[in-house]
Amino acid sequence: MNDYPFRALIVDDEVPVRDELALLLQEHHFMVETAADGEEGLQKLLTDEFDVAVVDLKMPKMGGLEMIRKADAKEIDTYVVILTGHGDREDAITALRLQNTVKEWFDKPILDDDAFAQRVKEVAEGVPLDEVSKILSKLPPTIQV
Amino acid sequence: MAYLRDTQKALNRTEIEKLSYLGSMATGIAHNINNPINGISLKALRGLRRVKKGDINNQEAQEIFAGIMHEVKHLTSLIKQFQAFARGDRNKRENVDLNDLATRVAAYFDGQFQSHDVVLNLELSDNNPQAYANQFLVEEVLINLVTNAREEVEKKPNAAVWVKTWATLEHSVIQVEDNGPGVSEEQRLFSPFHSTKAHGMGLGLHLAKSALERINGTIFYQNRAKGGACFTVHLLPARGENDE
């Protein structure tokens, strides 16, 4: 169990969805930032650090898939949970197959709030633990902690 | 072709037209219905979470219910518009505000355009052009043109559609432009059963032309100067109270 709150970025153009998911994750002790489209989301990913990003695929200005690709190109490796909702499940599957950072997807109209929060937490937990174990395994034995 | 002609005659032409446009409109509106439903669902889930834990207060309960009602009113308004369009009297003639009409049609389709990465631009005259016409027939024509335009440009980079309105002394005008490939067979464009689409029946523009003839309107095509298609609809100018 970590002793600091996870940081989540929610990127969705629908205000009620953004607000409700932010409240939900706050209830699960996340610190939450939000963005209204892919451009704003990318900007926040580039300038701040997050344990997980929850990203809608269909958004104005820049869609979720393009945002994730651009973040990947800038070597931002924040893990992503995708949101779908307008018949864009094929795009979600494409993202899961092509982008290493995409770990999960949820369909908004049938979203189960508890399952969603639990999975987002697992994905967030996976980021630092994976990274830490990778780094530790490369360190010489004398300075391992 | 004789069989097709006979079948076409046998069917009620007005009903075919209406069903065709209702189909386009339903598909467009479906995108706009999903968003409020997502909001309603998530707000209701929050209410349930709070009730299960027994920690909901009056203020938050009011906020949740008011939020749900806000989304429900939005959905109700969409459905009312759909019903008005479905049941509207297409024989009535009146002055129609073209800017209102273009804004309404754009609102039906904005979610659909967004989900196909197509930008829908409204360039409406500041002079509030009015036409002596039937609002539902003009709406049908605009739905047809806007849907065609979106289908032509989607999956292309910087895909965009423009709806413009203006008025001259002779005409009140609606124009729909896109930055797609344009049309190569202009002379057959408005003929029935002529289509360049894989799944098209080739009735859309023919129906639009027929609808416009009923209100003394005309439609014509020209290639867009910067590449793409440009359809211009000429309608009768608005009538004053004392006009015949």
Please state the rounded mean pLDDT for residues A33-43.
96
Instruction: Please tell me the distance from the alpha carbon of residue B192 to that of residue B111, in angstroms, as a whole number.
Output: 30
How buried is B92 (Cβ within 10 angstroms: 0-12 exposed, 13-18 middle, 19+ buried)?
exposed
Instruction: Reply yes or no on whether the pLDDT at B193 is more than 70.
Output: no
* Side chain identity at residue A33, one-letter code: E
What is the sign, positive or negative, of the torsion defined by CA atoms of A76, A78, A84, A90?
A: positive
**Per-residue model confidence as pLDDT tens digits over A75-87:** 998 999 999 886 6
The percentage of chain B sitting over the pLDDT mark of 70, rounded to a whole number, equals 84
**pLDDT at B7 (0 to 100):** 59
pLDDT of residue A144: 43
Q: Which residue of A has its CA nearest to B41?
A: A109
Cα distance between residue A108 and residue B66, in whole Å: 21
Q: What is the pLDDT of residues A118-134, one digit of tens each?
A: 999 999 988 555 555 55
Task: Report which DSSP code applies to A100.
Answer: T
Residue in A89, A113, A104 with CA at minimum distance from that of residue A20: A113
Give the dihedral of Cα atoms A24, A81, B67, B38; nearest 10 deg. -140
Cross-chain CB nearest to B115 (options A27, A86, A111)? A86
Higher pLDDT, A13 or B196: A13
Task: Give the closest-approach CA distance of B7 to chain A in angstroms.
Answer: 35
| Least confident segment among B86-95, B151-160, B187-196 | B187-196
Q: What is the pLDDT of residue A145?
A: 40
CB A117 within 8 A of CB A25: yes
Across chain B, mean pLDDT equals: 86
Sorted by sequence, the CB contacts under 8 Å of residue B56 that are 6+ apart come out as B47, B50
Q: What's the whole-number mean pLDDT along residues B14-28?
A: 75
Residue recorded with tokens 């939900």: A24
Q: Measured between CA atoms, how close is B139 to chain A, in angstroms?
A: 25
Torsion of CA A103, A108, A110, A112, to 10 degrees: 60
Nearest to A109 among B31, B38, B117 (CB): B38
Q: What pLDDT, on a 0 to 100 scale, did the predictor assign at position B1?
A: 58
Which pLDDT belongs to residue B182? 86
Q: Comparing B11-15, B225-229, B232-236, which segment has the lowest mean pLDDT?
A: B11-15
Gap between the Cα atoms of B108 and B25, Å rounded: 7
Lowest mean pLDDT among A59-63, B9-13, B149-153, B173-177: B9-13
Contact B76, B113 (CB under 8 A): no
Q: Does residue B208 surpass a pLDDT of 60? A: yes
Chains A, B: CB contacts within 8 A come to: 53
* C-alpha A5, offset from chain centre: 15
pLDDT digits (tens, 9 = 90+) for B57-88: 999 999 999 999 999 998 998 888 888 888 88
- Model pLDDT for residues A45-55, shown as the tens digit of each residue: 999 999 999 99
Quick one: DSSP state of residue B232?
E
What is the set of domains in chain A, with CATH numbers? 7-143 (3.40.50.2300)
Cα–Cα dist A31/A44, whole Å: 14
Residue B138 pLDDT level (bands cut at 50, 70, 90): very high
Buried b (16+ CB within 10 A) or exposed e, B177-193: bbbbebbeeeeebbebe
Grade residue B164 by pLDDT with cuts at 50, 70 and 90. Answer: very high
The answer, yes or no, to whether residue A140 has pLDDT greater than 60, is no
Helices B13-53, A15-27: crossing angle, 10 deg rounding: 20
pLDDT of residue A91: 80
Residue B137 pLDDT grade (very low, low, confident, very high; cuts 50, 70, 90) = very high
Q: Is the Cβ of A18 closer than 8 Å to some Cβ of chain B?
A: no
Calculate helix-pair angle for A113-138, A15-27, nearest 10 degrees: 60
Mutate to test the interface with A, among B27, B29, B31, B35 (most CBs of A within 10 A): B35
Using the predicted structure, report yes or no on whether residue B146 has a pLDDT greater than 80. Answer: yes
Q: Is A57 on the interface with B (CB under 8 A)?
A: no
Please write down the HEC assignment for all residues of A102-138. EEEEEEHHHCCHHHHHHHHHHHHHHHHHHHHHHHHHH
Cβ proximity of A37 and A11 under 8 Å = yes
Question: What are A54-71's pLDDT values in tens digits?
Answer: 999 888 778 899 999 999
Closest to B180 measured CA to CA, from B145, B197, B144, B156: B156
**Torsion angle, alpha carbons of A42, A43, A46, A52, to 10:** -50
* Contact between residue B141 and residue B163 where contact means Cβ atoms under 8 Å apart: no
Is the model more confident about B197 or about B73? B73
Q: Which of residues 82-111 of A touch B (CB under 8 A)?
A: 85-88, 108-109, 111
Neighbour tally for A25: CB within 10 Å: 24
Let me know: does B147 contact B24? Beta carbons within 8 Å.
yes
Position A143 scores a pLDDT of 47
> Stretch B38-54: mean pLDDT, rounded?
95
Question: pTM of the prediction?
Answer: 0.73
- ipTM score here? 0.80
